[in-house]
Amino acid sequence: MAEPLKLGLAGLGTVGSATVRMLLRSRDELAARAGRAIELVAYASKDPPKDNTIDLSKIRKVESPVALAADPGIDVFVELMGGEGDPAKSSVEAAFKAGHGVVTANKALIAKHGVSLAKLAEQNSVPFSFEAAVAGGIPIVKTLREGLGGSRISRVYGILNGTCNFILTQMQKEGRSFAECLKEAQKLGYAEADPTFDIGGFDTAHKIAILTSLAFGTEIDSDAIYIEGIESITLADLEAADDLGYRVKLLGVAVCSDGGIEQRVHPTMVPKGSVIAEIDGVLNAVAVDSDMMELTLVGPGAGGDATSSAVVADIVDLAAGRKVHPFGRPVGKLGKLSRAPMQRHEGGYYIRLAALDRPGTAATIARRMADENISLESIMQRRRKGRPHGGDNPGAAGASASVVLITYATTEDAVRRALAAIEKEGVLAEKPQVIRIEKS
């Protein structure tokens, strides 16, 4: 049997601890799969392990992750610290320069510096793997990079953040507010004390940026992503979606068309009965549309066990000598991303208006929609008591009604122009709510 593959691991948080536990617990099985032993010989961590049951007494501790990355006693550096900057970035660079392969779960690092790091790995003829950076235990990186090589992909999209999916699921099923469901997510450990990165859509944006590169053979361009979070979603939206045959999900979407590649993250209405609509709780799902097939992968998108399984799968590949280009092709063959701006996005829209209850309001709304050639598939009105606009009397001056419009396919800029014109007419009590409808 070949010499053991020697690992140096940096970061002993939830994922790092779970990875160490799996490497120690499954040593014989991993060796059988890889054709050689895999040994964790050194680690670096500024904090004690998240899991205090793992035994590190026989594993050498190195004070600095950068020093560990360049340590001559390792073959592969496993970066599980997180963050797009240092020490993660400098450690990965040090590992490549020392001739060591790298395995990481760091989506922020890949989204920001993935292409330049892949180039450095190429220059030093060492492997660079990051399956765990997107969708946890779902093998979507390997699927796009290796499993669909003969297909022309037109769209990749999915639920890529379990925190948001949990919140929207609880709101829809239990009829509770966004704030209440966010507090529960924090209590259960699904959301951070500062949840902005998740609920603002930024975590999903990092992941869709990576998937875009893998799907379409382009350099990563995370600055080209249109981002909306779920903070504005209300129970009224979820109830209206249910009545209209939809569920609301936060999706990351990348579409390739003649106009370029469109990357977007936003709350989306998807038809009930579709696979994506039925993904509840903290699960993730990624769908791929191509000229050969449509494929959907579902599984846990976060957590120590799911993410560490992807980390260890990458390690086994390296131990077995399976080496591929990080983004499916040499860095020099990655194309520049041709941006398709959101203003050119075409699709259906859900629009909720708090329309003032006075003569001419409906005609004004219809006229402004028609001015932009927006055709309406359906209109649904719910009487809403005017608080604070009109007290408990629906006919009082200032009372408003919730008017929900579903449009046929139109463009983003047409919708925005029509709504701006409606707001100028002074017939709305609140800012309009807009949610895109995605075919699935």
| Tokens, residue 229 | 């979070």
- Helix (H) or strand (E) run with residue 39 in it: strand 38-44
Q: Are 208 and 284 in contact (CB under 8 A)?
A: no
Q: Helices 88-97 and 107-123, interaxial angle, to 10°?
A: 20
Picking from 412, 418, 389, the residue whose alpha carbon sits closest to that of residue 402 is: 389
Phi-psi region of 261 (alpha: psi -120 to 50; beta: other; left: phi over 0): beta
Q: List the catalytic residue out of 89, 112, 207, 249.
A: 207
- Per-position b or e across 89-127, b if 16+ CB within 10 A of its CB: bebbbbbbeeebbbbbbbbbbbbbbbbebbbbbbeeebb
Helices (H) and strands (E) in the chain, counts: 14, 17
In this structure, the number of other CB atoms found within 10 A of the CB of residue 175 comes to 11
Q: Are 108 and 81 in contact (CB under 8 A)?
A: no
In this structure, the number of other CB atoms found within 10 A of the CB of residue 432 comes to 19
Note if 207 is an active site residue: yes
Active site residues: 207
